[in-house]
Structure 1
Amino acid sequence: MSSIHDKDREKQALNFIEEVTSNAAEVQLRVLSSILERNAHTEYLNRHGLHGRTDRKSFKECLPVITYEDLEPEIQRIANGDTSPILSALPISEFLTSSGTSAGQRKLMPTISEELERRCLLYSLLMPVMNQYLSDLDKGKGMYLFFVKSEAKTPGGLLTRPVLTSYYKSRYFIDRPYDPYNVYTSPNETVLCSDAHQSMYCQLLCGLVQKSEVLRMGAVFASGFLRAIRFLEQHWEEFCEDIKRGELNDCITDSAARAAVMQILARPNPELADAIGRECAKDSWRGIITRLWPNTKYIDVIVTGTMAQYIPTLDYYSGGLPLVCTMYASSECYFGLNLNPLCPPSQVSYTLLPNMAYFEFLPVHNNKQEEDLYRSGVISKTTSPKIKEDDELVELVDVEMGKEYELVITTYAGIYFFIPFM
């Protein structure tokens, strides 16, 4: 049974969502004022004529709408070790690498340490929303496949890494307080294992050992979740042998991960190994997820955009479990969440939380012939031909149903550009 404290925390989270979205115009104005006040004397804002002014009218009149490429010289200076207040009055703590590229290189998104708190705030809202649709999610565990990726350093010594690697290696993840709605089958040590093969092996094995406790499972992207299924197809016999003997395969050489898994493996369990083996040895793997993890209520994985192609395969393996897309985020900014998480993937929409950043919207004009030329490289422009230079930006509260926009963000870390999601 959930404690009174858990219910109070859930109520507070839902009230917070209601409050900030109901007062979006006021919240957005406060966010912009806060960003401009703290960064009032940065080089970038002064160069464009703000000179300490923090009102929205001056901001809109002075700052141009730009792309990442326009801001790249400033970003490169920071990467090379310039610590002067170029974009942000607060120190840049690290660079988050984007999945997109600029001239063949991954984009570097400057961030400040307090952004982790905002990301964690968004994470804290996900389960209170989900609890409105499914009950008893605190009665078991989540089998989530989390992975860290490689890190590098800029010439100036700042870390560059994906946003999720930054989060998993932070105290907010490693030292997170106990929450019955966020208990995972994967020990931290297996998530933080830098060897992708060993990390996958350990996390899947832990999920199999605790299979009766799994109520939900997932990964970040559908493609990653299906890689785990393929890995299971290739290694299920080894998993069964480990469980039968109560000993971890010698291929796992990461000492921290090995010690953590051995605490879960604990003792020989031939009955569990045989039950898993019987399912995996069948000719068809249709519904293998619900056959191995029968208490699973949904799969938490991104299946929108380019990931939609994997929906039929996920349905095949899961037996038609709900595919839930919980949140909308990127290395540039965390944006919002899905308030109707059990909707079909084709109907997913996200509610932007107005406290995360200052959001504006550029109207999109669909000229298919011109857009095709742009995509094929015949037309070379900094921005998409969908965007017209004389278009006025639309406020978050003024977007209109049925119209298409590109998102323009202004973040606490001093990012001022639009993100072309084409």
Structure 2
Amino acid sequence: MYRTCYMIRYVPGLEEGKAMFLYFVKAETSTPCGLPARTVLTSYYKSPHFKCRARDPFNDFTSPDQAILCYDSNQSMYCQLLAGLIHRNKVLRLGAVFASALLRAISFLEHNWPNLCHDIRMGNLNATINDPGCRSAMSIMLSSPDPNLADEIEEICSCSSWKGIICHLWPNAKYIEAVVTGSMSQYIPSLKYYSDEKLPLVCTMYASSECYFGVNLKPLCDPSEVSFTMLPNMGFFEFIPLGDNRTFVMDLNEDEDEDVPQSQLVDLAHVEVGRYYELVVTTFSGLYRYRIGDVLQVTGFHNRTPQFRFICRRNVLLSIDNDKTNEEDLHKSINVAKKLLDPYNALLVEYTSYADTSSVPGHYVIYWEIIHSTSVVDKAISIDAKVLQECCIAMEEELDYIYRRCRTNDKSIGPLEIRVVKLGTFDSLMDLFITQGASINQYKTPRCIKSKAALKLLNNNVSACYFSPRDPAWIA
């Protein structure tokens, strides 16, 4: 409702066309007592609220419900893209929940557009789509061949460059809607490339599984300037002060699970502009003073309602899609994997990580410096590739449920990669940070690299790369 009101104000006429939103459900599980457990978005897509959206012309989607509710993500993606291409001239806005999902769709389209064009040209759905709901819904859309439309799409997709492909395929689109704040900001350059920087990147709301928090009252602003106005009717919001620009980083490193005295909590009416806070919420569904883990900065007020900029998640190092890998989880997975080096007298002396989103899907990159544990003269060591590949899969098996689901079921994260670097690389990394102002007395190897200069140093010293040989175990 909030999103509808404010987008119509800034972009009139949206009810006259369709929205190509790519939505996907996740597989459900059951609790020990038999209650169904599923993500909040899956629950919403299966609810009457979503199914009855056709009454609202603003929510006229290209994707049929059957395609959205298909558990096979590849079949769902294929049918949703096919529906979007069939209605390409009616699409006024497009997007996904997260920017990563939209880029994944573009990558999928790049590999499958010939088949999609063939379906449109012949008026028949590809035989590999065997989900009954998808076949039923798409057979209605493909009621007759449309060779002219197929030719248009083929001409666009067969170009040597896909710069601006979104605007070419959906020429009437007015904006792209997706979460592009926080860890999703890493995908902004790619979205700008595929839209040729002609479409605004709109982030309309701030929400989580626990609660709906706020809306962006200036949806057409640059992603770097997005602030969310909190909605006090959605829950009771309190905040843990994290300081100002000088001190909030230090506070961020404190134990997230430690108890915070009630006297330290600040309510919504008493936050201060420019200061950083961790969000605490009490909800109508029963959460009491629940620490969301989000770090926010107050940017101003709308009337008397505070506005916040999302800064980051506490203690999250790596994130590609829905995954949130913190330092502790990464360290545990490293400890399990490095034991596989013991029989070869190899010792892992240092490591760091990086979320590589230069390709779709993105994947975790782990930099390892390994030495010979028993040789004093020559510490360089060569290890069989299969051993390092097993280290990759050992790490993935140890990471949490959400990561393994994204890797195995959703295919939204690529195989984990270990890049072995030359001896002395991490000493050089330390020297680099010291020249940039770090204290030699307080220096600690960063467990996730953000600096372009640091990444360049690491990559220039890579001696070998290894990938997970298979998907990690995951049980729906």
TM-score, normalised to structure 1's length?
0.66
Q: Is the 8 A contact 1:154 1:160 kept in 2?
A: yes
Aligned to 1:262: 139
Task: Rate the CA distance shift 1:382–1:238 in 2: closer, same or farther, 3 A.
Answer: same
Aligned to 2:257: 382
Aligned to 1:48: none
Aligned to 2:390: none
Aligned to 1:129: 6
1:209 aligns with 2:86: yes
Report deviation, 1:369: 7.5
Q: Deviations over 1:3-53 (max 9, x none)?
A: xxxxxxxxxxxxxxxxxxxxxxxxxxxxxxxxxxxxxxxxxxxxxxxxxxx
Aligned to 1:322: 200
Task: Rate the CA distance shift 1:202–1:125 in 2: closer, same or farther, 3 A.
Answer: same
Q: How many percent of aligned residue pairs carry the same amino acid?
A: 53
Aligned to 2:127: 250
Task: Rate the CA distance shift 1:402–1:391 in 2: closer, same or farther, 3 A.
Answer: farther
Report deviation, 1:162: 1.1
Aligned to 2:111: 234
Task: Rate the CA distance shift 1:253–1:414 in 2: closer, same or farther, 3 A.
Answer: same
Q: Is the 8 A contact 2:20 2:62 kept in 1?
A: yes
Q: Is the 8 A contact 1:337 1:352 kept in 2?
A: yes
Once residues 144 and 269 of structure 2 are traced to their aligned partners in structure 1, the CA distance between those partners, rounded to angstroms, is 58
What do you get for the CA RMSD once the two structures are aligned?
A: 1.7
Aligned to 1:161: 38
Task: Rate the CA distance shift 1:307–1:402 in 2: closer, same or farther, 3 A.
Answer: same
Task: Rate the CA distance shift 1:364–1:163 in 2: closer, same or farther, 3 A.
Answer: same
Once residues 124 and 256 of structure 2 are traced to their aligned partners in structure 1, the CA distance between those partners, rounded to angstroms, is 59
Once residues 380 and 398 of structure 1 are traced to their aligned partners in structure 2, the CA distance between those partners, rounded to angstroms, is 25
Q: Is the 8 A contact 2:242 2:251 kept in 1?
A: no
Aligned to 1:394: 266
Which amino acid is 1:382 matched to? D
Q: Is the 8 A contact 1:252 1:258 kept in 2?
A: yes
Q: Is the 8 A contact 2:235 2:281 kept in 1?
A: yes
Question: Size of the alignment, in residue pairs?
Answer: 291
Once residues 287 and 189 of structure 2 are traced to their aligned partners in structure 1, the CA distance between those partners, rounded to angstroms, is 38
Q: More helix per residue: 1 or 2?
A: 1
Aligned to 2:175: 298
Once residues 344 and 368 of structure 1 are traced to their aligned partners in structure 2, the CA distance between those partners, rounded to angstroms, is 25
Aligned to 2:350: none
Report deviation, 1:412: 1.2
Task: Rate the CA distance shift 1:340–1:332 in 2: closer, same or farther, 3 A.
Answer: same
Which amino acid is 1:329 matched to? A
Secondary structure, aligned partner of 1:132: helix
Structure 2 residue aligned with 1:354, among 232, 237, 248?
232
Once residues 143 and 390 of structure 1 are traced to their aligned partners in structure 2, the CA distance between those partners, rounded to angstroms, is 45
1:342 aligns with 2:224: no
Report deviation, 1:393: 1.8
Once residues 281 and 243 of structure 1 are traced to their aligned partners in structure 2, the CA distance between those partners, rounded to angstroms, is 16
Structure 2 residue aligned with 1:174, among 45, 51, 57?
51
Once residues 44 and 3 of structure 2 are traced to their aligned partners in structure 1, the CA distance between those partners, rounded to angstroms, is 16
Secondary structure, aligned partner of 1:354: coil
Q: Is the 8 A contact 1:147 1:165 kept in 2?
A: yes
Report deviation, 1:151: 0.7
Task: Rate the CA distance shift 1:315–1:381 in 2: closer, same or farther, 3 A.
Answer: closer
Structure 2 residue aligned with 1:419, among 285, 292, 296?
292
Report deviation, 1:390: 7.3
Once residues 227 and 196 of structure 2 are traced to their aligned partners in structure 1, the CA distance between those partners, rounded to angstroms, is 24
Which amino acid is 2:271 matched to? V
Aligned to 2:27: 150
Q: Is the 8 A contact 1:206 1:265 kept in 2?
A: no
Structure 2 residue aligned with 1:310, among 166, 187, 196?
187
Aligned to 2:62: 185
Secondary structure, aligned partner of 1:314: helix
Secondary structure, aligned partner of 2:53: coil
Q: Is the 8 A contact 1:362 1:391 kept in 2?
A: no
Once residues 270 and 249 of structure 2 are traced to their aligned partners in structure 1, the CA distance between those partners, rounded to angstroms, is 29
Which amino acid is 2:242 matched to? V
Task: Rate the CA distance shift 1:283–1:259 in 2: closer, same or farther, 3 A.
Answer: same
Q: Deviations over 1:131-167 (max 9, x none)?
A: 1111111110000001000110111222211110010
Report deviation, 1:395: 1.6
Report deviation, 1:413: 1.7
Q: Is the 8 A contact 1:362 1:394 kept in 2?
A: yes
Once residues 54 and 73 of structure 2 are traced to their aligned partners in structure 1, the CA distance between those partners, rounded to angstroms, is 26
Aligned to 1:404: 276
Secondary structure, aligned partner of 1:198: helix
Secondary structure, aligned partner of 2:75: helix
Q: Is the 8 A contact 1:363 1:391 kept in 2?
A: no
Aligned to 1:274: 151
Once residues 381 and 210 of structure 1 are traced to their aligned partners in structure 2, the CA distance between those partners, rounded to angstroms, is 47
Aligned to 1:289: 166
Report deviation, 1:392: 2.5
Report deviation, 1:127: 1.3
Which amino acid is 1:242 matched to? D
TM-score, normalised to structure 2's length?
0.59
Secondary structure, aligned partner of 2:16: coil
Report deviation, 1:227: 0.2
Report deviation, 1:175: 2.7
Task: Rate the CA distance shift 1:184–1:369 in 2: closer, same or farther, 3 A.
Answer: closer
Aligned to 1:331: 209
Q: More strand per residue: 1 or 2?
A: 2
Once residues 284 and 120 of structure 2 are traced to their aligned partners in structure 1, the CA distance between those partners, rounded to angstroms, is 48
Once residues 160 and 214 of structure 2 are traced to their aligned partners in structure 1, the CA distance between those partners, rounded to angstroms, is 42
- Deviation above 3 Å: which 4+ runs of structure 1? 365-372, 387-391
